Amino acid sequence: MAKTGSSTTTTKKSSSKSSSKTASKSLSKKHLARIEKEKRQNKILTIGTISIVAIIAILLLVSVYSTNITKWYKATFVYDRPVAKVGDTVITVQQFDHRVKYERYQLVSTFITYASSYFASFFQSQLLEVQNELDDTLQFGSDVLDKMISEQALVLKAKQMGITVTDEEVEAEIQANLEYFPSGTPNTPSPSPTITYYPTHTMNALQNTLTYKTPTPLPPTETPLSVEAQQTLDATTPTETATLTETPTAEQTQTETPSPTPTATVFTYNAYTNLYSTVVAGIQTNSDLTETELREYIRTILYERKVYAEIAKTVPSEQDMVWARHILVADEATAKEVLAKLQAGEDWNTLCLNYSTDTSNNTTGGDLGWFAKGTMVTEFENAAWALKEGAYSEPVKTDYGYHIIQVLGHEKRQLTADQLSSAQSAAYSKFIEDAKTEFGVTKYDIWARNIPTTPAIPDEYKISAK
């Protein structure tokens, strides 16, 4: 019996093992492929989910920190590269970037001030000009770079002349701009040119025949009064002449006590430094221009004033001048046609009125008045100075078109205050151009790829094109 039970138990165990092996074999065949497939799908799904989350995180980081990333990239790889060189002085990408932003910030601030004012409609044309200037990014950047180049040439030339600008002068200029005057408000008017005037020029016979004559109206013809009207007039005419100067009464001679002059609120040094900090922070936030760069910019302005004053001293108040008139046309063929008619004896004033595109003077014979050297474009000026009185020029090409010039006079004349100011400005401009030629200027193409477009006019203030 014992053996039989043992045999039965052994048989059951053997049967169980056989059944387990069969089930295992059956599971491997039916489900192994499915399990492996599910594992692969789960793995792909997990990787995909992680990738999507990573991409979203990267996009968020880029959107939040794109400005900082750009700044880091430029600061690391671009900012130290030169955009231009004047002599041995380098203008870097960073200096150019900050200056363009500062210039844009100044214009945008002015634009918003006027656009948000009650009188905005009166400034639409000027505002549109500013908007177009800011929108033309390439031209704006080019203009700013040219200005920076001229400033560097100016500073180099000023130092060569022994002109200096101290830190104290820069600080005083900042204080004055923020209306802080620790030594009292200055009350010195701007100096104006001292000019001793001489008798007015008298035209000679040739000039009298050449100049434009405005028709003189005939005097009105008086109609004699009738006898009755004259008697009535005599009867109503007072016999005594009223005294023109009356003796003032006591009330009229009383002197009014003037109102007290308002006293300005004392602007303390602490108030000045707080205002200065606010201004500098605003500039740096909106344009990245640092305090050091701002002070150097102001130093350049002071250099410009000092150099301009020195150049102005060299401009004489009496100069050789030319009196000329011109007929301006669009092309050379038309200019030759006008010249042929003049040489055939046709009237200058009539031709000027019919042909000249210079609407500022074509109704007055194209008269340009007396002008000194440096006030006209070079081609026009050279032709005018080469002509004798009464002679016509051949067609002279300038950026404005083709000119037929006739000279009415040559003489040394005294400049008016406006003419002297214009001559001084022209001399200063030539001084800067000569300085750039002397030191040499190199511009690198990288400037065009690094022109910032911010700050920009907010959309709510922009003027839509009509």
Going by DSSP bridges, is the β-strand pair 367-372/318-329 parallel, antiparallel, or unpaired?
antiparallel
Reference 74, options 389, 395, 449, 456; nearest CA is: 449
Q: What is the pLDDT of residues 120-130, one digit of tens each?
A: 999 999 999 99
φ and ψ at 187, to 5 degrees? -130, 40
In the DSSP assignment, the letter for residue 24 is H
- Residues 6 or more apart from 233 whose CB is under 8 A from it? 225
Whether the per-residue pLDDT at 29 is higher than 60: the answer is: no
In the DSSP assignment, the letter for residue 178 is T
Cα separation, 391 vs 405, in Å, equals 8
Contact 178, 283 (CB under 8 A): no
Percentage helix, strand, coil for the chain under 3-state DSSP, each rounded to 5: 60, 10, 30
Record: fold of 81-185+268-316+417-454: Triger factor/SurA peptide-binding fold (1.10.4030)
> Which residue has tokens 């035209």?
203
φ and ψ at 201, to 5 degrees? -60, 140
Lowest mean pLDDT, pick from 5-14, 107-116, 331-340, 343-352? 5-14
- Residues 6 or more apart from 352 whose CB is under 8 A from it? 325, 327, 362, 365, 366
> What is the per-residue DSSP string for 434-464?
HHHHHH-EEE-GGGGG-----S---GGGPPP
Cα separation, 113 vs 458, in Å, equals 12
What pLDDT does residue 14 have?
Answer: 52
Neighbours of 161 (CB within 10 A): 11
Domain regions of the chain by residue span? 32-78, 81-185+268-316+417-454, 318-414
Residues 412-419, mean pLDDT to the nearest whole number: 88
What pLDDT does residue 35 have?
Answer: 72
Q: Measured between alpha carbons, how far is residue 220 from residues 214, 217, 227, 230 in Å?
A: 18, 9, 22, 20
Helices assigned H by DSSP within 257-321: 269-287, 291-313
Whole-number percent of the chain with pLDDT over 90:
58
3-state DSSP of 333-386? HHHHHHHHHHHCCCCHHHHHHHHCCCCCCHHHCCEEEEEECCCCCHHHHHHHHH
End-to-end, the C-alpha distance of the chain in Å comes to 115
What confidence tier does 373 reach under pLDDT thresholds 50, 70, 90?
confident
Cα separation, 369 vs 321, in Å, equals 10
Written as one letter, the residue type at 87 is G
Whether the per-residue pLDDT at 287 is higher than 80: the answer is: yes
Q: What is the pLDDT of residues 174-226, one digit of tens each?
A: 999 999 998 877 765 555 555 554 444 556 666 666 665 554 444 554 545 45
3-state DSSP of 54-97? HHHHHHHHHHHHHHHHHHHHHHHHHCCCEEEEECCEEEEHHHHH
The CATH class given to the 318-414 domain equals alpha beta
- Residues 6 or more apart from 377 whose CB is under 8 A from it? 398, 399, 400
What pLDDT does residue 112 have?
Answer: 95
Tokens of 371: 């002008």
What confidence tier does 255 reach under pLDDT thresholds 50, 70, 90?
very low
Task: Tell me if residue 188 falls in helix, strand or coil.
Answer: coil
Cα separation, 273 vs 293, in Å, equals 18
Cα separation, 11 vs 240, in Å, equals 165
Is 305 or 75 the better-scoring residue by pLDDT?
A: 305
